[in-house]
Amino acid sequence: MNKRARVLLLNAAIGPLDYRIDAEHDVQPGSIVLAPLGPRQLAGVVWEAERMPSDAEVGDNRLRPLAGVYDLPPLGAPLRRLIEWTADYYLAPPAAVLRMALASASALDGGRTITEYRATGHVPDRLTPQRAQALERVEGRQGLVRELATIADVSDGVIRGLVKAGAIEPVEVRVDDPFPIPDPDHARPALSEAQAEAAARLTNAVEAHKFAPIVLDGVTGSGKTEVYFEAVAEALRCGRQTLVLLPEIALTEPFLKRFAERFGCAPVAWHSDLRQSQRRRAWRAIASGEALVTVGARSALFLPYRDLGLIIVDEAHETSFKQEDGVMYHARDVAVMRGHFEGVPVVLASATQAIETRQQVALGRYEEVRLPARFGGAALPDIAAIDLTQDRPDRGRWLAPSLVTALTETLERGEQSLLFLNRRGYAPLTLCRHCGHRFQCPNCTAWMVEHRLTARLACHHCGHVMPPPRACPECKEEDALVACGPGVERIADEVALLFPDARTAIVTSDTLWSPAKAAEFVNRMDGGEIDIVVGTQLVTKGYHFPNLTLVGVVDADLGLSGGDLRAAERSFQQIAQVAGRAGRGAKPGRVLVQTHEPAAPVIEALVSGDAESFYAAETEARRMAGAPPFGRFAAIIVSSESGEEAAATAKAIGRAAPRVEGMQVYGPAPAPLAMLRGRHRQRLLVHASRALDVQDVIREWLGPLEWRRSVRVTVDVDPYSFL
Ligand SMILES: [Zn+2]
Ligand SMILES: [Zn+2]
């Protein structure tokens, strides 16, 4: 009998450790255990010793015994392989990946009740501004004292005071209440012939219960969701679990509604906005196999599904699937790996598949299932460019006369319009008219963005905020500050001036910050209470508004200015997605794209509808440059509060770079975001051929190097951000 257990503890700073297994404990690889570490006890998972080397070998006589074994199903071998693969590929500590699998520490303990709090509607006699703010914001919400305090942006003490005053009351929540079971036959849709064919391919793959990466490709409005819902239904009939990954939390609510209409109840949701009790209940139901369909953000990928049968990645082209801190993984790639280890089909659904995905199809590694037309005979919208050098907006305005005319016509017909600008706030830059002073964030290489709705200047990188000062801090001149360039708030102002009677809504992460807010927006759109929406990329996400017939892209050149390798592709995807919001019902849609460069390949491809030749040209350019998917990048980012220290460390790393065939190292150089959250940043970029095991090279390169504790070195494998 095995007396020793290697345990991967939930602490990224220490490697796996060995423990003694006493007779009373029954453990196997994957068992979730409690182990002593110094004076404390820590959760961890038992691992195959040969797969997880330990650098702290301890003799049998000195082993400490395990403190306990949780009464939970062990993590399955496929998930353990996924954790190893992710740690290896993204050069992350295995414990940091394991933490995502055991994402709810409180869920490890057995079922019990949790006391949450909610507003009673009673207003206390003594109403301080803080209390008033708290009551306003927690209305209709429920949660722990700490959770309510966070929502209300007040201290725990304010919430407790309100509990004492009777304005907030405790509620007992049973955290192990079962979830409703989705019914695959609740409301079976009438599919078109093309949809039925695609659905049959997916359901066959689910039935076969084997690894199969399938790309579900279809124009916006072609009914991809209805098609993959049939695969979900098949998994339900087989009694297996499904995971649906969505890129944005704001998308969840409209999705949940559609899901409930099809299957008769909501799926289990998993995202960062969950309360602790919800998180715990979801985790336990996923681990027990009771949660049959989970819809979640990328972190749902690592949860311990007991019997997974299907993975779907919706809007698979979305760059927000890339995690930019902690373990820097790409959820689309990890989803395919999970499917591989679990032996289940993975469906990547999108109208604008990523070039990386298209390449896998071209190589025959992924199967492609196409939906050619829009569902129900709805036509694709008519896309035209507005040449801003000819059709100029008035001074200080941003909407060209022909776009204004189109908005007027749409309003007169009682239909809805959407103006798209991927920039939050009122203006991206504020400067002093008198001396030219520009407002920069004290912590970052970034301008402070003016937000008029909240009357403040904000840094979009670190969250630093300040009230807009009356006088210029440089020359002390009063009322000399001018806003430069537009954000969505400024466009909304222009709309209000042009159409004083139109009902408008601004949709950004500032206004749609919770699923409830997103649901409210959808209801108002569906109810015809909004005429003109002004929004960022948040409105390009999966919404379906039949009465929305006009889309205006305010600045199509914006996305191209950043200039990283995916800029053109991303612009194309974004504009194609936002264009896809127009004319999804019986009425035809129209899209007007404002640009200074109507001859740019991106714009020409959008106007002509010839996506294939655009993709072909982009793919060829990547091939010539040896860029992904034909070559690989890895970024090494060195940061420190001291600029000299960051530069010196980066230089030392650069000097130690090995000479390896098929690999080139660029830099170090100050990052474009040279300062972020008060830390100076230097970057090195590794460019390697596909054949090279670049992770191995980097491990051997950085492994022996040492740097001060005040320096942080992170490696971003397959980076999406080049800032
Ligand atoms: Zn000034
Ligand atoms: Zn900042």
Torsion of CA 578, 581, 587, 592, to 10 degrees: -10
Window from 88-97, 229-238, 538-547, 638-647 with minimum mean pLDDT: 538-547
pLDDT at 79 over 90: yes
Backbone angles phi, psi at 237, to 5 degrees: -65, -35
Cα 523 to middle of ligand 1, angstroms: 45
Q: What is the 3-state secondary structure (H, E, C) of 5-22?
A: EEEEECCCCCCCEEEECC
Torsion of CA 238, 240, 241, 243, to 10 degrees: -60
pLDDT at 375 over 90: no
- Cβ contact 698:688 at 8 Å: no
Cα 450 to middle of ligand 1, angstroms: 17
The pLDDT score that the predictor gives to residue 411 is 96
Cα 671 to middle of ligand 2, angstroms: 15
Name the DSSP class of 82: H
d(CA 459, CA 462): 6
The pLDDT score that the predictor gives to residue 111 is 67
The pLDDT score that the predictor gives to residue 403 is 97
pLDDT at 2 over 80: no
d(CA 180, CA 177): 10
Cα 673 to middle of ligand 2, angstroms: 10
- Cβ contact 191:201 at 8 Å: no
Cα 477 to middle of ligand 1, angstroms: 6
Tens of pLDDT, residues 139-169: 888 888 888 888 888 889 999 999 998 899 9
The pLDDT score that the predictor gives to residue 35 is 94
Ligand nearest, relative to CA of residue 474? 1
Cα 332 to middle of ligand 2, angstroms: 29
CA angle 325, 328, 332 (to 5 degrees): 125
Cα 220 to middle of ligand 1, angstroms: 48
Cα 486 to middle of ligand 1, angstroms: 21
d(CA 119, CA 139): 6
Ligand nearest, relative to CA of residue 438? 1
Ligand nearest, relative to CA of residue 466? 2
Ligand nearest, relative to CA of residue 480? 1
d(CA 346, CA 340): 9
Cα 464 to middle of ligand 2, angstroms: 5
Ligand nearest, relative to CA of residue 463? 2
Cα 434 to middle of ligand 1, angstroms: 5
Cα 692 to middle of ligand 2, angstroms: 37
Average pLDDT over residues 50-78: 87
Ligand nearest, relative to CA of residue 442? 2
Cα 721 to middle of ligand 2, angstroms: 17
Which tokens sit at 225?
A: 């969701």
Cα 473 to middle of ligand 2, angstroms: 18
Ligand nearest, relative to CA of residue 673? 2
Cα 449 to middle of ligand 1, angstroms: 17
Mean pLDDT (the chain, rounded): 91
Cα 438 to middle of ligand 1, angstroms: 8
Q: Count Cβ atoms below 10 Å from residue 293 Cβ, excluding itself.
A: 24
Cα 476 to middle of ligand 1, angstroms: 6
Cα 362 to middle of ligand 2, angstroms: 42
Cα 483 to middle of ligand 1, angstroms: 13
pLDDT at 498 over 50: yes
Q: Count Cβ atoms below 10 Å from residue 625 Cβ, excluding itself.
A: 12
Cα 466 to middle of ligand 2, angstroms: 11
The pLDDT score that the predictor gives to residue 1 is 47
Ligand nearest, relative to CA of residue 458? 2
Ligand nearest, relative to CA of residue 678? 2
Ligand nearest, relative to CA of residue 472? 1
Average pLDDT over residues 313-317: 94
Instruction: State the angle between helix axes of 515-526 and 252-263 in degrees (0 to 180), rounded to the nearest 10.
Output: 70
Average pLDDT over residues 179-198: 94
Tens of pLDDT, residues 650-697: 999 999 999 999 999 998 999 999 999 999 999 999 999 999 999 999
Ligand nearest, relative to CA of residue 479? 1
| Banded model confidence at residue 122, pLDDT cuts 50, 70, 90 | confident
Backbone angles phi, psi at 506, to 5 degrees: -100, 125
d(CA 267, CA 282): 10
Ligand nearest, relative to CA of residue 434? 1
Cα 467 to middle of ligand 2, angstroms: 15
Cα 364 to middle of ligand 1, angstroms: 61
Q: Is the pTM of this model over 0.75?
A: yes
Average pLDDT over residues 105-111: 76
Cα 481 to middle of ligand 1, angstroms: 8
Cα 457 to middle of ligand 2, angstroms: 11
Name the DSSP class of 298: G
Ligand nearest, relative to CA of residue 476? 1
Cα 448 to middle of ligand 1, angstroms: 15
Cα 471 to middle of ligand 1, angstroms: 8
Tens of pLDDT, residues 239-268: 999 999 998 766 677 788 889 999 999 999
Cα 484 to middle of ligand 1, angstroms: 15
Name the DSSP class of 448: P
Cα 445 to middle of ligand 2, angstroms: 7
Ligand nearest, relative to CA of residue 674? 2
Ligand nearest, relative to CA of residue 675? 2
